[in-house]
Structure 1
């Protein structure tokens, strides 16, 4: 039996079909919710399309608006819809936190919300699959015991906005997401950017740029959620499309749009969820930037971007003795990966897809061998990323695809658990998903498409 290849969750497809099939609601496409507030699906689909968003997702928004009416029956004023995509890292594995270069892209999976502003400072958020959040937008100090929760992200984003002098306020919202936690597609960054964009449109007339929203999201994740991360995830989610980002000046990163047209080359980008848990891996993630910064400090810098590669290679013997081999190996990865990002961007711009595939394979090799983020040191019994990479290489060999020429595979995102990323010919995707389904499950493979639009919020035009 052919495994299921996820392009969009079934629930999304069913909702979209129920909104748009011939004869639905006598072809008027007006849905009456629990408070008889009309939701004109046809007009909302047009609003989505006007903003470069997928109009077939209209059913997801209709569901959230109905839930919002049920949760807040006394609400008045306009309703807003908001969306922020997930992201896929294409190159620059663990380079952003040492002010390196990255290549990333927003994807067709996203976090969405139906929102109404409030005349008080209360934020009341009900997100599908998570505990409800209710907090005071004027109470912005980090709360003991709140780290790692949705409330911490919401409070942190609002605090980050306030610290920069932006206006903030209360709102009621219902939310859902197709960016599954632990999928390696940045569910937390997508949510942070979603909250930032809601505040941006409700209270700042949409004047806050995507880079500022991204920086605020990272602040929330680092300071309130208590998770170390770079800035790549939030920038990709906020900006949209393919983006090359240079963090040499982290306060003002250079963000360049890059056309990522894998489909035009007959290729599909697939992520495979190995089902591994990220629990207890914070120490593993934190050790990577710490190792890199230890090398930088020994060479007179703060982060590896401050260090000339030649100076590093000339002093490896001392660094091995003083810092240790793992840190040295991770620095080797940083310097090669940082240059590789620039080379991959050039390859995309020139349409040299074979060169891009070869560089993608090199990126995966460097992550596994030098960065060492495919297998967690704390667990020898759960190393799904390594197994998935091995099975992928076996599949490519079996079907006659040359790794690094016709196809490539690499660890995706932070690593240690979660997902891998594979680029291969479109006509081999079904066979590939089948090959991995017996080990990781029938829905473990997801075909990604690049979404051109970043975070968006807009007022719903009700019938």
Structure 2
């Protein structure tokens, strides 16, 4: 196994070997035989493009050096059984994938959604048994659900479909499962970043055929993700409201999504928009337009080696999420842990960038920190938010994959 490809140049190889050995041992103990395959499916970090993918925007996303590892064996009973070191085993009968809203939010629902979509697409496949172990950062918003979805897709792809599914197709199938069976109205950013790997710019103008540009991460900087805490209960409505408000503005122009609205037309009709919509909806639409420009500017900066400009784009994105998108705290919440984490980071980081990470309202922030500042920064954030809530990550150069 090439652990550095999976976990970066500075990975602890002995630790990663132990993880694969442990999941193999758990499989043998429960199944009484050796696994036939191993897989790895990573978390992801949203670098730019906060809440733009669902309106066919542009994003920058990175696969990162935490993952679900999985030991697998084919079976002939048309059942998928997935056991975990942390949760009870789930079982899905391939012939019974009826949607059950009582299963929303569960790994069982995600698995059923994958199976249903693949069958709907005409694919024929059988069952398997799998044992998993995950070190994906808890509470950091790095998309453990998407990592699980894409993993299930890739297992079926490898075991039964002769690897017919490409990275984008696996992402689209996984998004369907999360939207319909899991009950979360997400865009394609999470699944695409995990399926494709690397640091990648994705243009979702045609969501099921995104334009993919792989980029080289800036040198001399480390990615640090901090879980600032906060109550994650009942946030789905707040996430959904962002999409709803953006699409209501798009509908004003006779379009379904903001990507199809001309920015100059948007600005020229501001008097009519202001009379029709609350200010927050207009600000969120403005965030969408500006964020798309920032993704392009950040791509250009990385390609030309202009790290300073790239970091400026990340910082500007963070300010836009705070003031225009307004997803850094729940309305009326006086705790505001995300805002606190961002502002403390701005006080400490001399060379780097900081922004909310992912869906927002509670949870995590992400920082690019100059290597020489990482220890001081992480020590401070651990003191404030707890040792278990600060994660140092490397960008992983491969997506969800079969591991030899």
Query: Closer, same or farther in 2 for the Cα pair 1:412/1:172, shift >3 Å?
Result: same
Aligned equivalent of 1:158: 115
Contact 1:104 1:244 (8 Å CA) reproduced: yes
Question: In the TM superposition, what whole-angstrom CA distance separates every residue of 1:327-355 from its partner, at most 9, and x where no partner exists?
Answer: 00000100000111011011001100011
Gaps of 5+ in 2: none
Question: In the TM superposition, what whole-angstrom CA distance separates every residue of 1:70-117 from its partner, at most 9, and x where no partner exists?
Answer: 2222x57x6110111111111011110000000111011111110101
- What SS does the corresponding residue of 2:103 show, helix, strand or coil? coil
Contact 1:181 1:188 (8 Å CA) reproduced: no
Q: What are the within-5 Å matches in structure 2 for residues 297-316 of structure 1? A: 297-316=251-270
What's the offset of the Cα at 1:278?
A: 2.0
What's the offset of the Cα at 1:166?
A: 2.2
> 1: distance between equivalents of 2:379 and 2:105?
35
- What SS does the corresponding residue of 1:180 show, helix, strand or coil? coil
Aligned equivalent of 1:293: 247
Aligned equivalent of 1:60: 19
Contact 1:99 1:249 (8 Å CA) reproduced: yes
Aligned equivalent of 1:352: 306
TM-score, normalised via structure 1 length: 0.83
Aligned equivalent of 2:402: 457
Aligned equivalent of 1:71: 30
Contact 1:182 1:277 (8 Å CA) reproduced: no
Contact 2:184 2:236 (8 Å CA) reproduced: yes
- What SS does the corresponding residue of 2:64 show, helix, strand or coil? strand
TM-score, normalised via structure 2 length: 0.95
Question: In the TM superposition, what whole-angstrom CA distance separates every residue of 1:302-345 from its partner, at most 9, and x where no partner exists?
Answer: 00001000111111221122121110000010000011101101
Query: Closer, same or farther in 2 for the Cα pair 1:246/1:50, shift >3 Å?
Result: closer
> 2: distance between equivalents of 1:289 and 1:144?
22
1:127 and 2:74 correspond: no
Q: What are the within-5 Å matches in structure 2 for residues 30-429 of structure 1? A: 45=1, 56=14, 57-73=16-32, 75=33, 79-260=36-217, 262=218, 264=219, 266-377=220-331, 380-396=333-349, 401=350, 406-429=351-374
Over the aligned positions, Cα root-mean-square deviation in angstroms equals 1.7
Gaps of 5+ in 1: 1-44
What's the offset of the Cα at 1:359?
A: 1.1
What's the offset of the Cα at 1:161?
A: 1.4
Contact 1:112 1:194 (8 Å CA) reproduced: no
> 2: distance between equivalents of 1:157 and 1:436?
38
What's the offset of the Cα at 1:52?
A: 8.4
How many residues in Structure 1 have an aligned counterpart in Structure 2?
Answer: 400
> 1: distance between equivalents of 2:143 and 2:372?
28
- What SS does the corresponding residue of 1:145 show, helix, strand or coil? helix
> 2: distance between equivalents of 1:144 and 1:298?
32
- What SS does the corresponding residue of 1:182 show, helix, strand or coil? coil
What's the offset of the Cα at 1:151?
A: 0.2
What's the offset of the Cα at 1:439?
A: 1.9
What's the offset of the Cα at 1:275?
A: 2.1
Based on CA coordinates, which of the two structures has the bigger radius of gyration?
1
> 2: distance between equivalents of 1:82 and 1:179?
15
